[in-house]
A and B are shown apart, each in its own frame.
Chain A
């Protein structure tokens, strides 16, 4: 068969399959991310239906998916919100970082995977999925709740932390010696700071350039700019994801809102491809041996997120029931965690890291939203008793 024909047949089948899985997730009321991962496991090496030729094609799609994911994530918040959350919620944000990075880091060290894997796993357990959490808040009617601003500002804080964390991780993954590693980290952080300051101070110039009344022109300009900066960032060892994220932050207001709406379908397609690709790279045979470990890690990091939410909400003067809700809303992990694990797997940190991260995210992306739904009646009971 012709090469293009095979690619189209395989890729088409995968995407169509994802559509069917997405419909199922919608009906059951869970996030489709875990299902996409499972699909990837099935199509990968050692899976039920290994793909013959289109893996390379899918890998490029996955890279695009990461860029689009991070770009839209950056568009979600404007520069003002980032600064306010830094100044107002720094303490809760740091508690979040310490409590939730610890489980991943500790487990990697206990397993003897080394410091680089520890940093990667710290990122995997740290970040809450802002996408899934936003959906949980909306589905359960929690958006108007008084603890919700606290939850949202923690998510903003996490995103900012990621802007610093990702370049550090990328540099460490590059496996440089201590001195040259430190220099690259320095360069990476300086680049991030410069771009962040430029975005804050001169965001409106970038906006003036990108702005267009025509949605086609706007789409092309935003995607082009994001890819360009992502490529530049990759070249500077800062990771393409961070570049795209910074472009997203630089754009704000109505422009960001329009761009987000335009990018959403594109992002949905390529992000799904990214999750599949991550699954492809993971050997399903490796999942089972680490399943117990992943479950334990999930349980521990559920508790640490609950504590984080309770602490942050208490500081904001929220009563007991609201504190519990804040913690639960923070449980889901998803896209960011897989992006981090993907970087680590790409660098070949440890053969089992991908499987552990996949199993971990599978559990928390699926269980997080369900937990919130199941626990809601109990929380109401707490409130009634108080």
Chain B
């Protein structure tokens, strides 16, 4: 995949590329900080048929939504490459004793030797969270370790 970069004098920069299915998409980065997500017309490949104007906050949110699943996907690829290592995504159920408590309280690493590498909350990824990170119901915890140790973590997060 090749991302093309074009200068727009007086406005900013445009990046665009064609997806494998033949749809051209791009992002116009205005100097003012505004971002436009642009979708090109299939009949007229030079023309934009949809423009989504995003402010700073919205652009960040969209980037995180698009970026988050990819981190998990890359982790999955990682454990396929290393024999005996698995990464699992464990939800924190509403009844978990750790809801509202810092991660350090669960002492996951000491008790199971598996590691919590990330927490996904509402589409946002918190990579390598510290022991002071406070869990919330609905968080998805990404754990890397052996088959057995990750299963133990699941038990700890659910019942304590």
* Chain A residues packing against B (C-beta within 8 Å): 76-77, 81, 84-85, 130, 134, 141-149, 152-153, 155-156, 257, 318-319, 321-322, 325, 379-380, 383-384, 386
How many angstroms between the C-alpha atoms of A384 and B44 in the bound complex?
7
In the complex, whether B145 has a CB less than 8 A from a CB of chain A is no
* Chain B residues packing against A (C-beta within 8 Å): 6-11, 14, 16, 26, 28, 31-32, 36, 38, 40-41, 43-48, 50-51
A141 near B48 with CB under 8 A, answer: yes
Q: List 30 A-B contacts (CB under 8 A).
A: A77-B10, A81-B7, A81-B9, A81-B10, A85-B9, A130-B10, A134-B11, A141-B48, A142-B48, A143-B48, A144-B28, A144-B36, A145-B47, A146-B45, A146-B46, A146-B47, A149-B6, A152-B9, A152-B10, A152-B11, A319-B44, A319-B45, A322-B46, A325-B46, A380-B43, A380-B44, A383-B43, A383-B44, A384-B43, A386-B43
Residues of chain B contacted by A77 (CB below 8 angstroms): 9-10
Beyond A257-B31, A257-B32, whether A153 also contacts B45 by CB under 8 A is no
Beyond A141-B51, A144-B26, A144-B36, whether A149 also contacts B44 by CB under 8 A is no
Q: Select from chain A the residue with minimum beta-carbon distance to B50.
A: A141
Q: Select from chain B the residue with minimum beta-carbon distance to A326.
A: B46
How many angstroms between the C-alpha atoms of A273 and B16 in the bound complex?
42
A318 near B46 with CB under 8 A, answer: yes
Q: Is the interface of A mostly helix, strand, loop or mixed?
A: helix
Given contacts A155-B9, A322-B47, 20 further A-B contacts (CB under 8 A): A76-B10, A81-B10, A84-B9, A85-B9, A141-B48, A141-B51, A143-B51, A144-B14, A144-B28, A144-B40, A149-B14, A152-B8, A152-B9, A318-B46, A321-B47, A380-B43, A380-B47, A383-B41, A383-B43, A384-B43
- For the complex of A and B, the 10 pairs showing the least CB-CB separation, nearest first, are A383-B44, A144-B38, A322-B46, A146-B46, A144-B48, A81-B9, A76-B10, A141-B51, A152-B9, A156-B9
Q: Is the interface of B mostly helix, strand, loop or mixed?
A: strand
Closest Cβ of chain A to B150, distance in Å, is 45
A149 near B10 with CB under 8 A, answer: no
Q: Select from chain B the residue with minimum beta-carbon distance to A376.
A: B47
How many angstroms between the C-alpha atoms of A379 and B48 in the bound complex?
13
Closest Cβ of chain B to A257, distance in Å, is 5
